[in-house]
A and B are shown apart, each in its own frame.
Chain A
Amino acid sequence: MSSGFGPKGTRRSLLAGLGVSAIGLTFSGSLAGCSPSADPADGAAAAGGEEAKLNFYNWDTYIGETTLADFKAASGVEVNMSLFANNDELFAKLRAGNPGYDVIVPSNEFVARMIEAGMLQAIDRTKIPNFSNIDPAFQDVDFDPGRVYSMPYTWLALGIGYRKSKVKGVPDSWKHIFDSAEYSGRIALLGESADLVRLCARYLGNSVRNIPAELLPRIEQMLIAQKPHVKAFHDDNGQELLLNGEADLVLEYNGDIAQVMRDDPDLDFVIPKEGSLLNADCLCIPVGAPHPENAHKFINYVLDAKAGAAISSTILYPTPNAAAKALMPEEYRSSPVVFPSPEALATCEYGAFEGAEVSQTFEDLITRVRAS
């Protein structure tokens, strides 16, 4: 398994890097999972001498430029990174069995989902002394009470990324992208069904959690009416559409917009006044990981203040690592895009996994919207 992993991982990351999640890849992953490939014996024998390798399954543009090389220099462990495009791809690849990953980066909701499905290993806190670097606000979270299965990596907020010269004032309401013809044909929405439905509910004055069933038809009508004004549903590459001039308002995560704002000062980001969705990406060890020792070492390394700061300066997502944040330049710490104001954050909520049925309802709603 581990010998065949290298070239396969490279091909996957090339495709994923291009922003593609072809169904064939899902199949190859799941079929690999059908065979009893992830050998737990590897893990059991590891405690003494584990081979110096680690398979890291991460999002695109989501690690420091030299982090993996630095980790190798520090520990001798070679990290083999493959990329996934979204949580669903990650989940689909692991659901029939771990094809050999040691560290994965699911978001809060999927952490809850994977814990429920028994797909994550408990993390041995004694091997993660750097956990003390974490801001106390992130040390205990409701999607993983007591942080048994997950370690905080980044957190992120959805909002509107926009091109200042093409927009009147600051588009500080979801109205501009969900319920208005003002910027017809210049809008790109994130194609994640649950996120769309929740943000629409938020715009209509509800919480992003426990959305009442009677509100869903209203959300559906609103999105169907808005659809002619929407240029594209994007696959978390809204920042590129914005940068290329393909769209002037995009629903995106703050860190993605912060990355392109470095290249184009005409871009900006706002969290609409109605409030938004927060996400937290976490480092987890899936059940059946072939190198759990190395996985703990790697997670501890990433939570180190210096290593964390190096990562943050590349990816520009807000870090929950207080020690790393303290090492960052003022420009990052005081950026209103990376760290939205406390007032803006007070209006934001975390989404929650509310069961497979609710997810399916949201998915069907968006399928109907797109087919209408």
Chain B
Amino acid sequence: MTLGAPLFWLAVFFLAPLAIVWAYSFGENDGLVRISLTGTFQNYVRALEPLYLQIFAKSAFIAALTTLLCLVLGFPFAVAVTFAPRRLKVWLLLLVMLPFWTNLLIRTYALIAVLREEGVVNAGLEFLWSAGSALSQGLGFGPLDEFKPLSLLYNNTAVVIGLVYIHLPFMVLPLYAALDRLDRSLLEASLDLGAGHARTWLFIIVPLAAPGILSGSLLTFIPALGAYLTPDLLGGPDSQMIANIIERQFKRANNWPFGAALSFILMYATFIAIALQALASGRRPKETP
């Protein structure tokens, strides 16, 4: 009885629409607005053409790079939060959560304002440059060349910066959850028994945080793989990711069946990632009895 409402919700608002899109992926356009469900596999065959596989691969690469950078940035932070005094801890966690409570679109536009050629970063650099120029003139070396703003926006780097910024909380929070449960006496034992800080980090903290690393990586990788807004707003001419292609098939190309097939391939990739994580976390207890 208690399961009734959530099950109904799941069926009506998740499974049913998903089933419709899944059915579309086996259909063909019949005129401009009708889709006839012919049971064809043609959409999937087309989705596996090198052109689209290449875009899938690129999306996976960008998502993996995002995950790695989030881990590199997030891990030290999560450790710092874990060992911070209790009152500071709340504030540090709030620092992570605060951007998370702000609309994604607003944060992305804010990032545009920071990175663009007349944005905050370039304005700061220009200020330093003109100060340097004045100094060099004062010392008798003549003024520096004219300041050339850096092109920080509309390229793949901007997309990765945007994705890392957006997904950092997804990495930090599971890491913190894992590290917070960590038995401090193990660290003291490690240090007492002569292991240096580097060894303690590498052989004690990281293995104990492994479940957090794994779930944080998954929580970062999956949304980054399907990122749509970030490459659309921050990306350059070659920054299209698979979600942008899917959007264009549904809208500009008016080819819903093909867009549906691409969506489902993306979803299968996600399922595989989750299955791999389940396998990995299922195996670990056996390794360390």
Contact = CB atoms under 8 A, between A and B. Distances in A.
A216 to B, nearest CB: 15
A368 B54 CA distance: 10
Contacts of B31: 117
B109 interface: yes
Interface in B229-274: 229, 232-233, 235-238, 240, 243, 245-255
A333 interface: no
Interface residues of A, number: 44
B33 A96 contact: yes
B188 interface: no
B254 A23 contact: no
B246 to A, nearest CB: 7
A89 B117 contact: no
Given A185-B151, A231-B151, A23 B118 contact: no
B75 interface: no
A291 interface: no
A2 interface: no
B33 A363 contact: no
B153 interface: yes
Interface stretch (A13-21, A130-138, A200-208, A299-307): A13-21
B121 to A, nearest CB: 14
Interface in A77-102: 86, 88-89, 91-92, 95-96
16 contacts: A18-B109, A26-B250, A88-B251, A96-B33, A185-B151, A227-B238, A231-B237, A232-B154, A232-B237, A244-B118, A246-B154, A356-B32, A363-B255, A364-B253, A370-B237, A371-B58
A372 B235 CA distance: 15
B55 interface: yes
A18 B103 CA distance: 13
A359 to B, nearest CB: 7
Contacts of A227: 237-238
Contact of B233 (A20, A91, A360): A20
A23 B246 contact: yes
Contacts of A364: 253
Given A22-B229, A23-B243, A232-B154, 17 more contacts: A21-B247, A31-B17, A86-B252, A91-B251, A92-B251, A96-B33, A117-B33, A231-B237, A232-B237, A235-B232, A244-B117, A244-B118, A363-B248, A363-B253, A364-B253, A367-B248, A370-B238
Contacts of A88: 251-252, 254
A360 B255 contact: yes
Contacts of A368: 51
B223 to A, nearest CB: 13
B246 A363 contact: no
Given A185-B151, A231-B154, A371-B55, A21 B117 contact: no
B228 interface: yes
A363 B154 CA distance: 21
A233 B247 CA distance: 15
B128 interface: no
A23 B250 contact: yes
Interface string B76-113: 00000000000000000000000000000100010000
Contacts of B117: 244-246
A371 B240 contact: yes
User: Ordered nearest first, which 3 A-B pairs have the shortest CB separation?
Assistant: A88-B251, A363-B253, A117-B32
Contacts of A31: 17
A121 interface: no
A95 B32 contact: yes
A193 interface: yes
A246 B229 CA distance: 20
B252 A193 contact: yes
A89 B247 CA distance: 10
Contacts of A21: 247, 251
B251 A26 contact: yes
Contacts of A367: 51, 240, 245, 248
Nearest to B233: A20
Q: Of A227, A359, A371, which is in contact with the most chain B CB atoms at under 10 Å from its CB?
A: A371
A230 B51 contact: no
Q: Of A86, A192, A364, A368, which is in contact with the most chain B CB atoms at under 10 Å from its CB?
A: A364
B29 interface: yes
Contacts of A371: 51, 54-55, 58, 238, 240
B179 to A, nearest CB: 34
Contacts of B229: 20, 22
A368 B58 CA distance: 14
Nearest to B258: A360
Interface in A208-241: 227, 230-233, 235
Interface in A301-333: none
A37 to B, nearest CB: 15
Contacts of B245: 367
Nearest to B104: A22
Given A89-B251, A185-B151, A95 B238 contact: no
A92 B33 contact: no
A22 B33 CA distance: 21
B241 to A, nearest CB: 10
A18 B254 contact: no
Interface in B3-38: 17, 20, 29, 31-33
A263 interface: no
A119 interface: yes
A349 to B, nearest CB: 21
Interface in B134-193: 151, 153-154
B105 A18 contact: yes
A192 B253 CA distance: 10
B153 A246 contact: yes
Contacts of B51: 367-368, 371
A235 B255 CA distance: 20
A363 B52 CA distance: 13
Given A22-B229, A31-B17, A231 B236 contact: yes
Contact of A192 (B109, B233, B252, B254): B252
Contact of A356 (B58, B228, B254): B254
